[in-house]
Structure 1
Amino acid sequence: MAISGGRDDGEPMMEMNTTPLIDVMLVLLIMFIITIPIQTHAVKVDLPVNDPNAVDPPVDPIKNKITIDPAGTIAWNGTPVNEATLAQYLETSITLDPEPELQFQPDPKARYEVVDQTLALIKRANVTKLGFVGNEQYYRDF
């Protein structure tokens, strides 16, 4: 801090020296900051417990996949199903909001009759989000 030498007229300096006051205030501020306890914010949340016996719903709200193997077995998300069960799953999926994407992936050696029947079932269910998976492997054949 700068020290004033007073005026040139020889009068004594009448201003109070604030440097020691500022020093004491800074020391007290640092002491106050050090002695404050650390604030811990805890939010209690009751998390769900995983039930090992719980069964996942068969219809995924994001995307579902229908596959047909060479033997003609239709599978919904990897689980073999018959046409009646497939129709129920399709009805359930179109009632979800937003409608999940349906991916259709028949095996190249699957019978056309089974593939056609499955596509007709999908069309009758009024599925609007349908995608064919695996067709990119045939782009050089045509």
Structure 2
Amino acid sequence: MAFGSFSQEGRGAPMSEINMVPLIDVMLVLLIVFMITAPLLTHAVKIDLPTAASAANNEKPETVTLAVDEAGVLYWNDRRIEDAELATRLAEAAAKPVQPELHLRADRETRYQKLAEIMSAARQAGIQKMGFVTVPEQ
């Protein structure tokens, strides 16, 4: 927008450009008005919703503790079992209607190979939930 120039030509000619400042002011005022009134225009429909009461299912699944010491000896719920017996016990646990959670406790010195074999046997038996039990540091 050229409001003034140093040339003498067309000095008395009317300005042919549109002045945008008043239009912007009007738009800002309208924007503020709509921002204030829009939250007031929400309509709430009052309806009677049905209510239902139910008790929480507090039935917790059984937990099976499988412990492994540093020599690789297995303990099923604190009872010593043989390696060959592990697969049958895992299959029995997986066949229950409510499958128990398998908690695996291992000694610090237990070989990882033994733990991998136990996890593989649990997966093959169909155990869905398995967790590792650790002792927190003091």
Q: Which TM-score applies when normalising by structure 2? A: 0.51
The root-mean-square deviation of aligned C-alpha atoms, in Å, is 2.0
Partner Cα distance (2:112, 2:80) in 1: 18
What is residue 137 of structure 1 aligned with on the other side?
136
Gaps of 5+ in 2: 1-60
Identity across aligned pairs (percent)?
27
Structure 1 residue ranges (4+ consecutive) displaced by more than 4 angstroms after TM superposition: none
1:86 aligns with 2:68: no
Corresponding residue SS for 1:87:
helix
Q: Secondary structure at the match of 2:136?
A: helix
- Alignment-mate amino acid for residue 133 of structure 1: V
Q: What does 1:67-78 correspond to in 2, within 5 Å?
A: 67-78=67-78
Q: Residue 124 of structure 2 corresponds to which residue in structure 1? A: 124
Residues 14-46 of structure 1: CA deviation (Å, up to 9, x unaligned): xxxxxxxxxxxxxxxxxxxxxxxxxxxxxxxxx
Question: What's the CA shift for 1:112?
Answer: 1.4
Rounded Cα–Cα distance in structure 1 between residues aligned with 2:101 and 2:117: 20
Give distance in 2, aligned partners of 1:94 and 1:72.
23
Stretches of structure 1 that go unaligned for 5 or more consecutive residues are: 1-60
Q: Is residue 108 of structure 2 the alignment partner of residue 105 of structure 1?
A: no
